[in-house]
Amino acid sequence: MRIIFANKYYYLRGGAERHLFDLKTLLESRGHEIIPFAMAGEHDEPSAWYRHFVSPVSTEAVSFGWEGLRTAGRMLYSFEARRKFATLLSEADPDLVHVHNIYHQISPSILPEAKKRQLPVVMTVHDYNLLAPNYSLFHDGRICEVTKPQAYWRAVSHKCVKGSAAASALTALEMSLHRSLGLYKRNIDRYIAPSRFVQALLVEYGFDEKQVSFLPHFVQTADWQPSFSGDYALFVGRLSAEKGVETLIRAAAIAKNVPVHIVGTGPDEARLKKLTLELRATNVVFRGFLAGDDLKREYAGARFVVVPSVWYEVFGLVVLEAYAAGKPVVASEIGGLTELVRAGETGIPVSAGDVSDLAGAMRDLWNHPIIAEKMGRVARSWVESYFTPDQYYAGLMKIYGGKKLS
């Protein structure tokens, strides 16, 4: 089967891209051909299809100049992306289109081209862009669903996007236009929800439950050598407000006997380093961005992994990686994370944003290494049994070949 993967980035940038490349490897190992479609950039992985990638735009900051107008046009409806995607479809002649994150940098203007050719279209839901202008449902330090279910313009007065009324208005206009044109709902046959939480939320926001399939992510445990002891607590992820790193640093300042390694980069990095100095949390070490074998070595050296998210985490791929490495997890009881941490068996759930609760759980695992080791062994066994590539592949093939896609 020839499958187009459409995603805004074609390099390892975050959890969505990590899943995309893992899935690409899995499908290629089963004899399928993956054809990427993305935004061109200097960090992109090599591809014979690169000439079809769309020109780059920047969405990191609010801009009112020419570049800002280009970005606004891309967000609303990209004729360039549609044209290049049409050319790619004609040249590649795929059997199916699998969409990941295409909003803003590509735009759903490409989707009608697939349906014109009667190609089945599947979309993996990696965040909440289908539901709200603020695709994390989080801003100003808290969960926010003021635009639910389709009251997108409420985002303007609440400055839901980047703390800017202008950015919020543009994104509200984007969503209103896409909804009126039916770009997603008319052109996507099936949505893949990585957690029951996301599946229920999509239905709650008005998506047809028959079109939303639950399929949890997987991890290739054969690539991970488990280690059931370690010398520090570990965080892996983007350094941004919704990931709860501030909560972790404040908890570490209380649990001073627990060494904490923070792996990742992001917009809050400077602020978080400053906070660490202010709190005199000398037990916290920032390790920067790590990937591949370097990241696996960092997992191997940990006693446990902390996932202190304060937003509706879609899934929590870090949890599976921790389990594959033989590590228990301390994680917030929020979003998809509630489905991954079995209290007292594979880790300890804590209240999202509760510094003292997190500090207490970290101390418990640090002070009881035998319990941490036992949890790590149970976690490794569980992930080997229930989050395997074979199980994911079987579920995905069922979705690809479902009645809606025939």
The H or E element that residue 98 is part of is strand 96-99
Is 141 part of a structural domain of the chain?
Answer: no
- Pairing outcome for strands 138-139 and 2-6: unpaired
CATH, residue 62: 3.40.50.2000
More confident residue, 405 or 221: 221
Distance separating the N- and C-terminal Cα atoms of the chain: 14
Task: Give the pair of three-digit tokens for residue 225.
Answer: 């050598």
Is 73 part of a structural domain of the chain?
Answer: yes
Is 197 part of a structural domain of the chain?
Answer: yes
The H or E element that residue 373 is part of is helix 369-386
**Closest by alpha carbon to 342, among 378, 310, 309?**
378
Contact 202, 135 (CB under 8 A): no
Answer yes or no: do 347 and 208 share one domain: no
Sign of CA dihedral 133, 136, 142, 148: positive
Answer yes or no: do 325 and 211 share one domain: no
Answer yes or no: do 398 and 257 share one domain: no
Answer yes or no: do 15 and 103 share one domain: yes
Residue 61 has pLDDT above 70, yes or no: no
Is 156 part of a structural domain of the chain?
Answer: no
Q: What is the pLDDT of residue 147?
A: 96
Task: Give the pair of three-digit tokens for residue 23.
Answer: 């899935």
3-state secondary structure of 249: helix
Is 169 part of a structural domain of the chain?
Answer: no
Tens digit of each residue's pLDDT (9 = 90 or more) over 1-37: 999 999 999 999 989 999 999 999 999 999 999 999 9
DSSP 82: H
Task: Give the pair of three-digit tokens for residue 183.
Answer: 């770009």
Is 94 part of a structural domain of the chain?
Answer: yes
Residue 226 has pLDDT above 80, yes or no: yes
If pLDDT is split at 50, 70 and 90, which confidence band does 70 have? confident
Domain span at 89: 2-130+184-218+389-405
Answer yes or no: do 230 and 328 share one domain: yes
C-alpha dist (Å) from residue 314 to 15, 99, 124, 201: 10, 17, 11, 10
Question: Residue 149, preceding bond cis, omega within 30 degrees?
Answer: yes
Determine the distance from the C-alpha atom of residue 263 to the mean position of all C-alpha atoms in its chain, rounded to a whole number: 16
pTM of the predicted structure, to 2 decimals: 0.94
Answer yes or no: do 53 and 200 share one domain: yes
Is 8 part of a structural domain of the chain?
Answer: yes
Q: What is the pLDDT of residue 380?
A: 98
Residue 224 has pLDDT above 70, yes or no: yes
Answer yes or no: do 281 and 191 share one domain: no
Answer yes or no: do 355 and 343 share one domain: yes
Answer yes or no: do 237 and 304 share one domain: yes
Answer yes or no: do 346 and 303 share one domain: yes
- Residue 292's contacts (CB-CB under 8 Å, 6 or more residues apart) are none
Tens digit of each residue's pLDDT (9 = 90 or more) over 157-189: 999 999 999 999 999 999 999 999 999 999 999
Q: What is the pLDDT of residue 403?
A: 41
More confident residue, 406 or 246: 246
Answer yes or no: do 277 and 311 share one domain: yes
**Closest by alpha carbon to 16, among 313, 257, 362, 329?**
313
- Residue 51's contacts (CB-CB under 8 Å, 6 or more residues apart) are none
**How many domains is the chain partitioned into structurally?**
2
Answer yes or no: do 340 and 327 share one domain: yes
Residue 66 has pLDDT above 60, yes or no: no
Is 138 part of a structural domain of the chain?
Answer: no
Percentage, residues of the chain above pLDDT 70: 97
